[in-house]
Structure 1
Amino acid sequence: MTLLSRDRLIHILTGIILTAMVIGIYWNVQHFYFVSFDDNLYVYENPMTLQGLNAETLVWAFTSLEVFNWHPLAWLSHIIDVELHGLSPGGHHITSVVFHWANTLLIYLFFVLATKRRWESFFVAAIFAIHPMHVESVAWISERKDVLSLFFMLLSFLAYRAYRIKNGDTAYYILALLASLFALLAKPIAVVQPILLIALDIWPLNTYSSSRSLLDNAKRLLLDKIPFFLLSALGAAIAIIAQQKGGTVTSVEYFSLWQRIQHAAVSYLNYIGKIVVPTELGMYYLHELNPSVMLFIAAGLVLLGAIIAGFLIRKSHPWFLSGWMIFVVALLPVIGLVQVGAQSMADRYTYIPMIGLSIMFIWGISELVRKYRIARYATLAVGIIAVLLYGSLGYQQVQIWESNETLYTNTLRYDPYHPLANNNLGTHYMLTREYGNARECFQRTIAVTPAYATAYHNIGMCYLHEELPDSALTYFTKALARKPEYPEAMLFAGVAHTDLGNYRQAESYLVRARKLAPESVRPHYFLAKLYREEHRYALAERNFIRALETDPTVCEIYRELGLMLVDGGKIEGAKRLLSKAGEFGCSVDTVRTKIMQLSQ
């Protein structure tokens, strides 16, 4: 057996082991469901995604700023999934796992080619494959953009390495630049790629050399990154526009620059802690408004100390500086200096940065083993134990993403007043008609965020479903006090007034709801039902027809208008409408019975 064939066999076996790890951790996702944490926005309630792949959705994917992001390749991946799997969530989950598996193998391939160190490369890839903090990026369908973006970044790294070792081969450089563009089209986080390439130039590509002058090193490190920086600048500009359009960028008036700096420093420390000891993982982690001064000082010392240490030992241990750069820089866009959303930290944000920290730990341990001649078998045993431990925790974390209930209840185990988890779990309980449980969740949301109008509205909806319109109206009124132009609260306040027999107030609310949401079918529908109750049949018919013009697929509108025509003696028109109601899914037996009665 030649050395080449032996090496090739080792790489194949390593790939098989890494593949088995990914399959073992994520096998169950094929049986998981969509969750209401953005999956509705990306897939099962998005009218464009649901069309599947066609010319219209292709154009839309590249022009849409929906969900306040510009990530056309992420949209295309969801659209293609719908084309292939429909709304079977298992297929969507498997696609994400396939990309995660590919990323695992690409990480191993890059580092083993660049360093010739098999064991170290294997453990970096293994930790990436199984770590519990990566579960959110893989098992959450909406985070497809994470696995997709890193896939193209890793392809870019491999092409860039080939460009370096082949003395500036233009073809490989163009491939690296093209893959970098695709990474940006998948998720804006790829704006960090030029600096990550500089980190890789320092190590393991070793472009930086202490024998050259500072100016020569700067040229070698920076000049060929200019096109990458231009791409990143364009991607960052589009991302900021998209986020500002959605109002998700938090003003410094709400969250001061000094508070952001404090939180950023402390978050770096917290991320290191959670990566090393991944316990009490949740959907995302809320801000602590006034972090401990001592914790901030400790975080600052760690950050500054690691940078100084990396610079001082850059000649003998360049992997330390490179790994720390990857960790710090890859987290920088999401660390909170530009605050987007309510979260201070999220597991998914570690999908790329953890690679840097793994390099530091694993190559550091390897250096210690070599220096102090620690038995390799003992070190290997420790590595295997670490993989088994993280793998066990990773497998448990995957199960949390099975459904709405498992996801939100797990988050609430560690943070009982997490507002989003409470609100979403409450919505889940509403759908399963557990209205008492739902109200408890919404009340906990209000306890933390008393200005959150949606929680009041949802409590109102619980009471409305329980046929308690008086109590419902109280909470719809509270929702409108906090958000005066809230179409849903305005609409259902009108419905509650209708149920209470307050027809003048009901009409006022429903007309205002129609003005706030003219494209919605529901204001027309409920106005029509109100007018029918008041025997104002001409107005009722007009609004039923407007509702059908807005959405001609709602069976209840055909049924209600048909039944009203029965009362008015318009038998032929009623029969046509009731037949149409049956076509669109209303109770066929009930409709047939009514048609038979009309025919007699």
Structure 2
Amino acid sequence: MFDALISGNNPFFYHLTNVLIHLSTSIFVFIFLNKLKIKRELSFLWAVVFAIHPVLVQAVAWLPGRNDSLLAFFVLPSFIFLISFFEKRKSYYLWLYLLFFALALFTKESSIFIPVLVLFYGLLLSDKRNLFVNILPVLFLGWIVIFSVWFYLRSIALLSSPVPYSILGSIKSIFDNLEAVILYIGKVILPFNLSVLPTLQDSTLVYGFISLVLILVLFIFSKKKNYSLITFGLLWFLIFLLPSFIRPSGYVPDFLEHRIYLPLVGIFVIFSSLSFFEKIDFSKPLVNFIFVLIIVIFSILNIWHSNKFKDKISFWTSAVKTSPSHPLAHKNLGAMYYLDHEYDKAKQEFLKAVEINFEEPMIHNNLGLIYMRENNFDKAKEEFELELKINPNYDNALFNLGLLYWGQNEKQKAAEMWLKTVLINPDHKDALKGLAVYYGEIGDREKADYYLYQAKLRGAEF
């Protein structure tokens, strides 16, 4: 909303905000790791890696990816303030923790598990366990109040669109997609198979398995291990990653890279618990050379991957290239071609999407528009009706079928479709405009004036 107030439809400030959030979060990563008593130089290394890691490009370059960077922007300070409370026993740090926890919860629902991490921190890592036990009643009271407000507002927001997941269904979805953990680990350690719309079906797990072997070797050759820190880091990684595996039944799951944004911090915590990293001597030229080399490689990969987000065609072309079996990739690339008036290319992508998934939402409507442009009205009608059979409440399919009837001079049928459209979506200004014209033509001035007023109220131009 802040971006919209400043720049309207100009994307510059939206991207600037994303960059500023990411830079701020990178600083928070350094402070947080340092608060966990991880060596200052090592904390700085991880913060720099976080700042330029190519797997996080989607969270910065792609505006919808902001949800995860914003989550980290609130979660990390919440823990920083909580740890500061243990260090300094100043009550305002505790209230700041609760404030940032609330902000995180209202940003993304996976924050409901933050109290679990707090409990494990207090029991495993805090050197002031007695103090932690003493403030538990305050923490629980704060959590109850925040959860109550959140749950109440959430229930109001979801009245018209209930969540399509049950608890058992969510657990099953997580287990069905557990392979994605390997996929994400591979992208973190060896970020060479990056994608704007990754799926398990079209992704290789080779990088993930190689990465797991490398981690195992590091684990074996590290003589000392901080198991409390390992446990905390692993919990952090899983708690913030696994909820993103929940998908509606029958939907092709994607594993977007911005979802690893906050879980990545858990991997840094795990690595920092191994003596291999703890004993790194940053005064040695070889260590600095390797560090700089990693930064250079990651920066090159970062710039290369960023180019996939430069415009709509680049994005969806990349999606089709890396995830050719995902119908959404073909559907949306086709939609971008349609908007650019490249109708033959659009038709090709729409047909490919139908071939992959005949019931892909909106795809038959899109094909109907193509056939309308080709004056193949029978085929267009067939596609619109197919869309409505699959997706009966899709307002645009109803409206477009009405347009088809209007063009064939079946104006009463057109009006019937548009009435159904505004019944589903009262703000569909084109349907309101069409109804105003229809009732004007048949001489019903009262209804014509009503729909004219409603259409103009919503920005329709006549």
Name 2:244's counterpart in structure 1. Answer: 334
Distance change >3 Å, CA 554–CA 367, structure 1 → 2: closer
- 1: CA distance, partners of 2:65 / 2:75: 16
* Further displaced range: 115-124 or 461-470: 461-470
- Tell me if structure 1 keeps the 8 A contact 2:415–2:434: no
AA of the residue aligned to 1:189: S
> Conserved in 2, the CA contact under 8 Å of 1:405 and 1:428?
yes
Equivalent of 2:46 in 115, 118, 124 = 124
Aligned residue number for residue 582 of structure 1: none
Aligned to 1:112: 34
Shift of 1:323: 1.9
Pick the aligned partner of 1:325 from 208, 221, 235. 235
CA 1:139/1:321 → structure 2, altered by over 3 Å: closer, same or farther?
Answer: same
Percent identity over the alignment is: 21
Structure-to-structure mapping, 1:256-405, within 5 angstroms: 258=172, 260-264=174-178, 266-286=179-199, 316=226, 318-336=228-246, 343-364=253-274, 366-367=276-277, 369=279, 376-405=284-313
Against the structure 1 CA distance between its residues 555 and 368, is the aligned structure 2 distance closer, same or farther, given a 3 Å change threshold?
closer
Can you list the C-alpha shifts for 1:71-113, whole angstroms capped at 9, x where unaligned?
xxxxxxxx22111122210111101111111111122133335
Helix, strand or coil at the partner of 1:343: coil
Aligned match for 1:548, one of 422, 438, 452: 452
Counterpart contact for 2:110–2:239, Cα < 8 Å: no
d(CA) in 2 for partners of 1:340, 1:195:
31
Q: Is the 8 A contact 1:97 1:138 kept in 2?
A: yes
Partner of 2:24: 102
Per the TM alignment, residue 526 of structure 1 is displaced from its structure 2 partner at its CA by 2.7
CA distance in 2, matches of 1:282, 1:133: 9
Q: Give SS of 1:552's match.
A: helix
SS in 1 for 2:191: coil
SS at match of 2:349: helix
Change (3 A) 1:414 1:433: same
> What letter corresponds to residue 550 of structure 1 in structure 2?
Q
Q: In structure 2, the residue corresponding to 1:165 is in which secondary structure?
A: helix
Superposition deviation, residue 218 in structure 1:
8.6
Q: CA deviation at 1:238?
A: 5.8
Contact 1:124–1:359 (CA under 8 A) maintained in structure 2: no
**C-alpha contact 1:127 1:358 (8 A) present in aligned 2:** no
Closer, same or farther: CA 501–337 of 1 in aligned 2, 3 Å:
closer
Q: TM-score, normalised by structure 1?
A: 0.65
Distance 1:240 1:522 in 2: 31
Q: Structure 1 residues 139, 228: CA separation in 2 closer, same or farther (over 3 Å shift)?
A: farther
Residue 164 of structure 1 deviates from its aligned partner by: 0.9
Partner of 2:164: 249
Tell me the distance in 2 between the aligned counterparts of 1:337 and 1:238: 24
**Larger deviation, residues 501-510 vs 133-142:** 501-510
Q: Quick one: which amino acid aligns to residue 51 of structure 2?
A: A
CA-based RMSD of the aligned residues comes to 4.0
TM-score by length of 2: 0.83
Q: 1:340 to 1:139 in 2, by over 3 A?
A: farther
**Matched AA of 2:319:** T
Other-structure match for 1:423: 331
Counterparts of 1:314 and 1:287 in 2: how far apart (Å)?
A: 35
Change (3 A) 1:393 1:190: same
Q: How far off its partner does 1:203 sit?
A: 7.0
* Runs (5+) with no aligned partner, structure 1: 1-78, 209-215, 559-600
1-structure distance, mates of 2:17, 2:53? 19
Counterpart of 1:6 in structure 2 is none
Q: Is the 8 A contact 2:197 2:322 kept in 1?
A: no
Q: Give 1:359 shift.
A: 2.6
The total of aligned residue pairs comes to: 453
SS at 2:362 equivalent: helix
Partner of 1:81: 3
Q: Which residue of 2 aligns with 1:66?
A: none
> Does structure 2 conserve the Cα–Cα contact (< 8 Å) formed by 1:155 and 1:179?
yes
Q: What's the secondary structure of 2:456's corresponding residue?
A: coil
* Deviation by residue 1:458-508 (Cα, 9 ceiling, x = unmatched): 111122244443332221121122223433222221221222334454444
